[in-house]
Amino acid sequence: MSDNFSRTPFSEGHAPSHEEALKPHYTTTTGSFSRTPVSPYLNYDSRYLQQAQPEFIFPEGANKQRGRFELAFSQIGTSVMIGGGIGGLAGVYNGLKVTKALDQKGKVRRTQLLNHIMKQGSGTANTLGTLTVLYSACGVLLQFFRGEDDHVNTVIAGSATGLLYKSTAGLRTCAFGGAIGLGISSLYCLYLIAQENSSNSSPKYL
């Protein structure tokens, strides 16, 4: 094999210089001038790389939104943090009120404030976290057994959450908790239906 073959480029076309690449060039396929620059190093038209491709690739038959099981973890964590924040603010208010009534000052007042914040913050976080765990578990089980995810699962899961959370406080309190869960979940479903009708987008159940 001669040395001339190794020096011969793969394409017979002349590689354009930097000035030529920036100038408008004529394309034979479209019969018009194009202002898309041609790479002076690789000798190709960059228009061929500008093809619309999907941002995400989903397997055939896969759902394009996360299900209840995938959303459960973020919902539980968010509920715990929100509960801790709300309980902490309530603890600050109650702590200031109690220490002012007892005329406490200095280190004693700071200690009492911290006690109120930690106690009420952890209690509220525990309550909201428990409610979210019950709701997510009911929703995941309903989706598994029914084979679909819709507003019916949301209403049943909300009602079951209220019933289970107050199940140890007596029949009347249990029924009251179930009614509260039914009301909240129904209002949420009505809100989702209104959003679907206004935006014509696919629903995202929680």
Whole-angstrom CA distances from 101 to 93, 111, 118 are 12, 15, 20
Greater confidence, 33 or 187? 187
Going 93 to 99 to 103 to 107, the CA torsion angle's sign is negative
Which tens digit of pLDDT belongs to each residue from 81-111? 999 999 999 999 999 998 888 888 888 888 9
Buried b (16+ CB within 10 A) or exposed e, 127-148: bbbbbbbbbbbbbbebbeeeee
Are the CB atoms for 79 and 132 separated by under 8 Å? yes
Q: How far apart are CA 43 and CA 15, in angstroms?
A: 6
- For residue 25, report the phi and psi dihedrals to the nearest 5 degrees: -120, 155
Please tell me the pTM assigned to this model: 0.63
pLDDT score of 104: 82
Average pLDDT over residues 175-185: 92
pLDDT score of 11: 46
Average pLDDT over residues 74-84: 93
H/E run at residue 117: helix 106-146
pLDDT score of 33: 47
- Banded pLDDT at 49 (limits 50, 70, 90): low
Q: How far apart are CA 60 and CA 41, in angstroms?
A: 40
> Taking 50 as the threshold, does the pLDDT of residue 5 lie above it?
no
> Taking 60 as the threshold, does the pLDDT of residue 28 lie above it?
no
